[in-house]
Amino acid sequence: MNKNKFETIKNTAKLFSTTVLSALFLSGCVNMDLTPKDKPSEGEVWTDATMAEQTVAGIYNSLNHLYNDNYNMWFDCFSSVMDRDANWRNFGMMFGWQTTSGDGPGWIWHDNYKFIIRANDVIGNLPGVDGIAETTKARLVAECKFLRAYWYYQLNILFGGIPYYTEPIKDINEAKGSRLTKTETWEKIIEDLTTCINESNLPDKYASGETNYGHVTKGAAYALRGKIYLWMENWSAAEADFKKVGDCGYKLFTGSAGAYKMLFKEANEQCDEMIFSIQCIEEDGFWNSKNRGYGTRCTYGSMWNNYLVNPDFVDTYEVIDGSKFNWNDIIPEYSKLTVLERRVFFLRDNLTADEITSAKEQGANMDYYLPNGNEARIRKAYDNRDPRLEMSVITPYARYLGGDGGSDNYFTSRYPFRSQWTETKNPDGTTTREPNDIRTDTQAMFYYLNRKFVTEGTAEGSQKGTAIDAPLIRYADVLLNLAEALNEQGKTDEAVAYVNQVRARAGAQLLNSNAPTTVTGQADMRERICNERYWELLGEDLLYYDELRWGTWKEKKFATYNNGATTVVNGLRQIWGQATYHYSWGGDHYWLYPIPENEIQMNPNMVQNPGWN
């Protein structure tokens, strides 16, 4: 682990936790008690140069809040690519029973404003602190303006027009601003980001290992401003900003075989692709928890697989030649069978008599079962697909290197799960277990499991979280945003070139290189760019925002449709499509979150979103 990263995060976190800047939104208002026991007073903080400067660094730890899964959710489970384990269905927006006082929107509203208040305190007070160089002050204030913009960016997407506070709040009456429109809020955020970009003391980027690595850069500000221009459909401005990110020195990581997979390893967390990342260390409260929520019981430390990859999404991954995947090309009878009957194709070889009986009782059409070839047949559906599929998802009968029992072991995703195995000690000291099935919290079901962000073996292992930095903005994301901005202006050929950079790194067939990949026009390219973002960015919590911006969220997440001989409904589903639970669309007002009820009660100037009254 980078020693500078560890010491910076650990020390500033300890200081930050004891300062007065931990003002919280409680019961819909701001707790402005500035003199808590055993904590330095506000005057002490802003008269001590070291404390003031380290307090700024401590604000960055607020970013880790989401990656510690404190909401019991990551945003990709709201998109069409992922679903939450049935035991954790606690967010009413997905099931039509969200209330204005319910969990979820209230947490997001209060936490983002809590962090904004911290940033405003620094922006308003740091310039008056003696003992800090003016150039350093200017840089740190610019960083806090970016962070403030980032939190407002999330709020504006989800709530659609919000109060925009820019000054330190000393009195509760100052936290009763009126809502701006969504466009007005975008314009305010753009002002903040433009100030950052124009700050001469803010560097274009930091090199790996630099003391300030992980802090905001001009490249990050250009990238975030470009994203806002996409929301405003100012395509030319977005194009200009995204191109500036490359000018700042950011580029794709291509330095090894399987570069896409290796990008998400700790050794490459500070490569030139990472524009803005949450700095994580392997310590409670500061680690990246994706390993815990995405892993399995075979992952070192025994993880939870709370987040499960959606079967429809997996089906979108292309064949290696760039053509669309079709189940009927692999199993001609697939669409002729009902969802329950299709279970047969995913069963393991050499089922016992009891397992055959159970499969029949659960609806499997055992006329199609191959006792000695079932596994090989289904593997043909996953071989020769876009390489990112196997790098991101544990598919049926694929292997995963786990660390169960404190030693490196390969496990295989098989169904039905068998708990018994035969263990053999190998001459090289390793252990082989057969059949060694992947154990999960959901092993009575057969789901697609996450591989991306999940540690392999014991060398990468952790008891809970990992020290792998969590990317918020990376260059592949920017390139695909740039391609979208170009395509919307009719510059489709130029857009193809940028998408091909991402595809080339992944090992996918390049666009316009054969018949399946030939782009037929702007609309076709628009769909290809959307798909590319799904395949490239799975698990990075950007796709829900994309679906909201594209206006596709309802049709993607809540659709019911015909699939061969059966009707497929939305929700968490096993690999063959059988639903464990369903989603329910609550109405068109669900495109925006409700303003929390306690905020409406405390602020007479606050107006609720339409449909939530």
Task: Say whether pLDDT at 423 is over 80.
Answer: no
Average of per-residue pLDDT across 551-556: 97
223-227, 231-235, 283-287, 581-585: segment of lowest average pLDDT: 283-287
- Residue 118, classified by CB atoms within 10 Å of its CB into exposed (0-12), middle (13-18) or buried (19+), is buried
Average of per-residue pLDDT across 420-444: 82
- pLDDT, tens digit, 9 for 90 and up, residues 77-133: 999 999 999 988 878 999 999 999 988 899 899 999 999 999 999 999 999 999 999
The predicted structure's pLDDT at residue 64? 80
The predicted structure's pLDDT at residue 7? 54
Q: What is the DSSP letter of 466?
A: B
- Residue 195, classified by CB atoms within 10 Å of its CB into exposed (0-12), middle (13-18) or buried (19+), is middle
Q: How far is CA 59 from CA 215, 316, 458, 526, in A?
A: 11, 39, 32, 38
Nearest residue to 254 via CA among 498, 538, 450, 475:
475
Helix locations, 317-363, DSSP H: 327-330, 353-361
Task: Say whether pLDDT at 376 is over 50.
Answer: yes
Task: Say whether pLDDT at 239 is over 70.
Answer: yes
Task: Say whether pLDDT at 189 is over 80.
Answer: yes
Task: Say whether pLDDT at 48 is over 50.
Answer: yes
149-158, 420-429, 528-537, 584-593: segment of lowest average pLDDT: 420-429
Task: Say whether pLDDT at 19 is over 60.
Answer: no
Confidence of residue 5 (pLDDT cuts 50, 70, 90): low
Question: Comparing 597 with 5, which gets the higher pLDDT?
Answer: 597
63-67, 133-137, 340-344, 496-500: segment of lowest average pLDDT: 63-67
The predicted structure's pLDDT at residue 519? 98
The predicted structure's pLDDT at residue 63? 85
Average pLDDT, the chain: 90
Nearest residue to 414 via CA among 351, 467, 466, 356:
351
Confidence of residue 41 (pLDDT cuts 50, 70, 90): low
- Residue 206, classified by CB atoms within 10 Å of its CB into exposed (0-12), middle (13-18) or buried (19+), is middle
Task: Say whether pLDDT at 417 is over 80.
Answer: yes
The predicted structure's pLDDT at residue 351? 97
Average of per-residue pLDDT across 135-142: 97
Alpha carbon dihedral 499, 504, 510, 511, in 10-degree steps, equals: 0
Task: Say whether pLDDT at 165 is over 90.
Answer: yes
Sorted by where each begins, the domain ranges of the chain are: 1-77+93-202
Pairing assessment for the beta strands 566-568 and 561-563 based on DSSP bridges = antiparallel
Task: Say whether pLDDT at 33 is over 60.
Answer: no
HSE, CB side, 13 Å, CA atoms: give it for residue 259: 17
The predicted structure's pLDDT at residue 20? 40
CA dist 547 and 80 (Å) reads: 8
Question: How many CB atoms lie under 10 A from the CB of residue 326?
Answer: 12
Write phi, then psi, for 517 (nearest 5 degrees).
Answer: -95, 5
The predicted structure's pLDDT at residue 568? 74
33-47, 421-435, 510-524: segment of lowest average pLDDT: 33-47
Report, at the CATH architecture level, how domain 1-77+93-202 is classified: Alpha Horseshoe (1.25)
Write phi, then psi, for 421 (nearest 5 degrees).
Answer: -145, 165
Confidence of residue 229 (pLDDT cuts 50, 70, 90): very high
Query: What is the pTM (predicted TM-score) of this model?
Result: 0.93
- pLDDT, tens digit, 9 for 90 and up, residues 469-492: 999 999 999 999 999 999 999 999
- Rounded to a whole number of angstroms, the CA Rg of the chain reads 25
Confidence of residue 560 (pLDDT cuts 50, 70, 90): confident
Contacts of residue 198, defined as CB under 8 A and 6 or more positions apart, other chains included, come to: none
- pLDDT, tens digit, 9 for 90 and up, residues 269-324: 999 999 999 999 888 888 889 999 999 999 999 999 999 999 999 999 999 999 99
The predicted structure's pLDDT at residue 270? 97
The predicted structure's pLDDT at residue 591? 98
